[in-house]
Amino acid sequence: MTVRDALNSALDEELARDDKVYVLGEEVGEYQGAYKITRGLLQKFGPDRVKDTPITEAGFTGIAVGSAFAGLRPVCEFMTWNFAMQAIDQIINSAAKTLYMSAGQINCPIVFRGPNGAAAGVAAQHSQCFASWYSSVPGLKVLAPYDAEDARGLLKAAIRDPDPVVFLENEILYGQAFPVTPQVLDKDFTLPIGKAKVMREGKHVTLVSFSKMVGYCLKAADTLAKEGIDVEVINLRSIKPLDKDTLIASLKKTHKMVTVEEGWPQCGVGSEVSALMMEHAFDELDAPVLRVTGAEVPMPYAANLEAAALPQIDDIVKAVKSIA
Amino acid sequence: MRVERGESGPTLCPTTLSSVRLAWPFSFRRVPGSPPQQGSTRMQAMLKQRSGVRAAQPGRRAVQIRAVAAPVKAASASKTPLVTPEVAKDLYYDMVLGREFEEMCAQMYYRGKMFGFVHLYSGQEAVSTGVIRLLRQDDHVVSTYRDHVHALSKNVPAREVMAELFGKKTGCCRGQGGSMHMFSAKYNVLGGYAFIGEGIPVGLGAAFQSKYRRDVLGDEKSDSVTCSFFGDGTCNVGQFYESLNMAALYKLPHIFVVENNLWAIGMSHLRATSRTSGDHDPHIYKKGPAFGMPGVHVDGMDVLKVRQVAQEAIERARRGEGPTLIEAETYRFRGHSLADPDELRSKEEKARYLERDPIPQLKKYMLEHGLATEAEIKELEAKVMEVVEDSVKFAEESPKPERGQLLENVFADPRGFGIAEDGRYRYQMPGFSSGTAIVS
């Protein structure tokens, strides 16, 4: 099942399950979704539940948040997470903080979703990764699926969750197909928020990643296996809350860790993992936690420069070898 | 449209709701450097009149608007009162409560009982009372940081508001919100936002919910409305325009209430906002028709006029006819906040508005129309003082929040705090929270 179909089926099932759930965003209806994630939903559920909005990020995000305060369960789509910067006031000041400001009276069961991170050749204003920004905000849950199982399970869990969830998808992964078990296809299949998954067990080095980079890590692991380096690959799935216990358990096995992310290095997800491992498992570390990140530049347009600005499989292999 | 000459210069009587509806199909095709082309002789006549008025009074700078709500009535000349005695007393009580509460806040602030940013509403009571006393409990109210009186008008107990301001755990938000973030799930007050303009789309969301409940969830009785309150400064924020568009587009039962007190901290409305075409001054209510909804201007110092205009807007919304933009001309007697030295507003302007204080206006009206006796009015005022003093006593005697409250209510689902070392969810650990978060 492709990630696109996984997301589509999850939305379909959740819209059918609870009539308080509705989808809104630009092009989600008649256009069938800018990236076709909401294909067929308008035809099935009608324009009252799949709403096309004007180009009004702050406005429609605010409407979604306000309606969530009043009892509905919106799924607010951003065409890309870059555009959500126009709505970040509503995401953080309204959605994330209101339960706290109202001391538990008014919660916000909303899901903000859309493609995050770099695509291909879309340049600086369409390529930013927002995982670290949103994961620093108390009151938000931040999820980043990798494969179809993640996409289905995490999106369904997010929609059923009573808190605001930032759901960071990846455009390149939309078209990728992954095997799924019948359990994943069950209409009540959800994954726990806050639990990472060990994708591949190993004993020499732990690779920690999320979203598209998990795929790169798995490929790097195959390359490294040929040289006798047995790598354990962890898919975070949930950036906030971060499953540090799974990471520590892995570190106790391998004693070496490399984090891999697409985003910028300063204050990135890797920085947080590194600090946590140092604080909670210092004696388990045989080497510093290494971070493989995107380059500290706005994304360039030229294809070769773009490739140089993002982590490649070779970069991951090199990083692992330097401490293996 | 009429133009009258008042005692200190020409005044402008803006359109009533019904005539604004008629005025919608105006289209101005502008050719740079030439005056606008209009199709209507009525508009032409009006423009000519106004430019003539302007020519006769060069250098006039102050905004002088004596606003009239529909239907046009000179309140003191009419024999039949506009409201019943019960309603009049309720309005009077509510305005006096708002005023005394805010004045008490000022006292408490200077005594160090309240802290941070406190923005008082004194002078603007007619708008809050005039609109909110018409609402039901299931209607929603959204406001900005000047929200104490909106909460009070919506029936949030004065004790809870005062305790919140003192930062005590008995406050309506258990001390976690503060002056700028008044929330009440029971009375449907959705905040209290420090970012002006942020509350308006949230208000639209509550109105969206009301419409959704009817259209999708099949609740035919769902006709609750939402009122968003904000100032003249907010009317330049992008979210205001986004909201006007979508409220009209989706025909949401939402009322935009602009409390135009002419000042955004120290920035005069006249310096911050461009003039509407053909006008001498910027008129916010005219932005309504541009987006497809009626725009009404009302004297925000007269609670009965505000109430009339609000009544019509609320009934429109309940009938499913969509949003309304109300611009209430009002004034805050105090500075922007208790930290504002308020040096930029002229004494003359303040004196002019003090003369139009809504509370003595209503008192006069009630006495003239036999809606209440002097004794009854004094009784209401005494009751207010009792309530306000009790709220201070309650707030003083209430305990501060315990340290354990710090981590509470970040997530509705306490699993959001992640997984502990032993593999259980952190919220399952004993003593993690004193049980205020509800797991669905």
Chain mean pLDDT for chain B: 83
Give pLDDT, residue A295. 93
Do A165 and A224 fall within a single domain? no
Biggest distance spanned by C-alpha atoms of chain B:
83
Contact A69 B195 (CB under 8 A): no
Q: For chain A, what percentages of helix, strand and coil (3-state, to nearest 5) are there?
A: 45, 15, 40
Pairing of strands A290-292, A141-143: unpaired
Do A50 and A165 fall within a single domain? yes
Residue A165's closest chain B neighbor by CA?
B416
**DSSP-assigned beta bridge partners for residue A23:** A50, A75
Do A281 and A179 fall within a single domain? no
Indicate whether B67 pLDDT > 80: no
The ipTM estimated for the assembled molecules is: 0.79
DSSP-derived letter for residue A139 is T
Q: Looking at residues B125-143, what average pLDDT do you find?
A: 98
A158 falls within a domain: yes
Indicate whether B324 pLDDT > 50: yes
Give pLDDT, residue A79. 94
Do A291 and A203 fall within a single domain? yes
Do A158 and A206 fall within a single domain? no
Give pLDDT, residue A131. 97
Do A76 and A24 fall within a single domain? yes
Its pTM stands at 0.80
Do A36 and A102 fall within a single domain? yes
- Token look-up 């939903």 returns A41
Residues of chain A found within 8 Å of residue B198, distances taken between Cβ atoms: 62, 89-90, 93-94
Q: Give SS3 for A294.
A: coil
Contact A162 B198 (CB under 8 A): no
Contact indicator for A139, A100 with CB cutoff of 8 Å: yes
In whole angstroms, give the CA distance from residue B395 to residue B391: 6
B77 falls within a domain: no
Indicate whether B334 pLDDT > 60: yes
CATH number at residue A67: 3.40.50.970
What single string gives the DSSP state of each residue in B326-374? EEEE---SS-SSTT----SS-HHHHHHHHTT-HHHHHHHHHHHTTSS-H
Which A positions 243-302 lie with beta carbon below 8 A of chain B?
243-245
Contact indicator for B392, B108 with CB cutoff of 8 Å: yes
Q: Which helix (H) or strand (E) holds B298?
A: strand B295-299
Give pLDDT, residue A293. 97
CATH number at residue B92: 3.40.50.970
Give pLDDT, residue B24. 30
Contact A72 B209 (CB under 8 A): yes
Side-chain-facing half-sphere of B109: CA atoms under 13 Å: 17
B217 falls within a domain: yes
Do A133 and A203 fall within a single domain? no
Q: Which helix (H) or strand (E) holds A168?
A: strand A165-169
Contact A243 B419 (CB under 8 A): yes
Contact A105 B173 (CB under 8 A): yes
In whole angstroms, give the CA distance from residue B87 to residue A138: 45
Do A92 and A232 fall within a single domain? no
> How far is B81 from chain A, CA to nearest CA, in Å?
37
Give pLDDT, residue A241. 92
A191 falls within a domain: no
B39 falls within a domain: no
B263-277 confidence digits (pLDDT tens): 998 889 998 999 999
Please state the φ and ψ torsions of residue B267, each to the nearest 5 degrees: -100, 120
Residues of chain B found within 8 Å of residue A252, distances taken between Cβ atoms: none
Choice among A126, A169, A261, A262 that is catalytic: A126
Indicate whether B84 pLDDT > 60: yes
A192 falls within a domain: no
| Structural domains in chain B (count) | 1
Q: State in Å, rounded, how far the first CA of chain A is from the last one.
A: 35
Contact B216 A22 (CB under 8 A): yes
B69 falls within a domain: no
B219-260 confidence digits (pLDDT tens): 999 999 999 999 999 999 999 999 999 999 999 999 999 999
Choice among A13, A14, A26, A57 that is catalytic: A57
B7 falls within a domain: no
B145-199 confidence digits (pLDDT tens): 999 999 999 999 999 999 999 999 999 999 989 999 999 999 999 989 998 999 9
Domain boundary among A185, A220, A248: A185
Edge-first strand listing for the sheet containing A165-169:
A50-52, A21-25, A73-77, A111-115, A165-169, A141-143, A238-240
Residue B182's closest chain A neighbor by CA?
A102
Token digits of residue B351: 């004196």
State which residues form the domain around A45. 3-185
Domain boundary among A159, A185, A211: A185
B34 versus A171: the higher-pLDDT residue is: A171
Three-state SS annotation for A225-262: HHCCCCEEEEECCEEECCCHHHHHHHHHHHCCEEEECC
Give pLDDT, residue B425. 67
**DSSP-assigned beta bridge partners for residue B296:** B326
Would an 8 Å CB–CB cutoff place A52 in contact with chain B? no
- Token look-up 């005394």 returns B100
State which residues form the domain around B220. 85-398
pLDDT band for position B11 (cuts 50, 70, 90): very low
CATH number at residue A273: 3.40.50.920
In 10 A of CB A228, how many CB atoms?
Answer: 8
Do A176 and A210 fall within a single domain? no
A290 falls within a domain: yes
Contact B242 A59 (CB under 8 A): yes
In whole angstroms, give the CA distance from residue B308 to residue B285: 16
DSSP-derived letter for residue B419 is B
Q: Which of B205, B421, B436 sits opposite A63 (nearest CB)?
A: B205
B278-309 confidence digits (pLDDT tens): 999 999 999 999 999 999 999 999 999 999 99
Token digits of residue B74: 């000179």
What does the CA dihedral B386, B392, B398, B400 come to, rounded to 10 degrees? 160
Indicate whether B440 pLDDT > 90: no
Domain boundary among A185, A217, A243: A185
pLDDT band for position B68 (cuts 50, 70, 90): very low
Q: Which helix (H) or strand (E) holds B324?
A: strand B324-329
B26 versus A75: the higher-pLDDT residue is: A75
Report the share of chain B in percent with pLDDT over 70: 77
B50 falls within a domain: no
A255 is catalytic: no
In whole angstroms, give the CA distance from residue A83 to residue A80: 6
| Structural domains in chain A (count) | 2
Contact A90 B202 (CB under 8 A): yes
Do A170 and A286 fall within a single domain? no
What single string gives the DSSP state of each residue in A110-125? -EEEEE-S--SS--GG
Q: Which residues contact B346 (CB under 8 A, 6 or more apart)?
A: none
Q: Which of B184, B411, B418 sits opposite A139 (nearest CB)?
A: B411
Give pLDDT, residue B51. 62
B107 falls within a domain: yes
Please state the φ and ψ torsions of residue A205, each to the nearest 5 degrees: -140, 145
In whole angstroms, give the CA distance from residue B168 to residue B178: 9
A149 is catalytic: no
Q: Which of B192, B207, B419 sits opposite A245 (nearest CB)?
A: B419
> How far is B381 from chain A, CA to nearest CA, in Å?
31
Indicate whether B13 pLDDT > 80: no
Indicate whether B64 pLDDT > 50: no
Contact indicator for A3, A148 with CB cutoff of 8 Å: yes
Q: Looking at residues B120-132, what average pLDDT do you find?
A: 97
Q: Looking at residues B104-126, what average pLDDT do you find?
A: 94
A143 falls within a domain: yes
Give pLDDT, residue B403. 81
Indicate whether B75 pLDDT > 90: no
Indicate whether B343 pLDDT > 80: yes
Residue numbers in chain A where pLDDT is lower than 70 = none
Mutate which of B142, B183, B417 to test chain A, going by most A C-beta atoms within 10 A? B183
B394-414 confidence digits (pLDDT tens): 999 999 998 878 877 888 876
B187 falls within a domain: yes
Give pLDDT, residue B239. 95
DSSP-derived letter for residue A138 is T
Do A39 and A127 fall within a single domain? yes
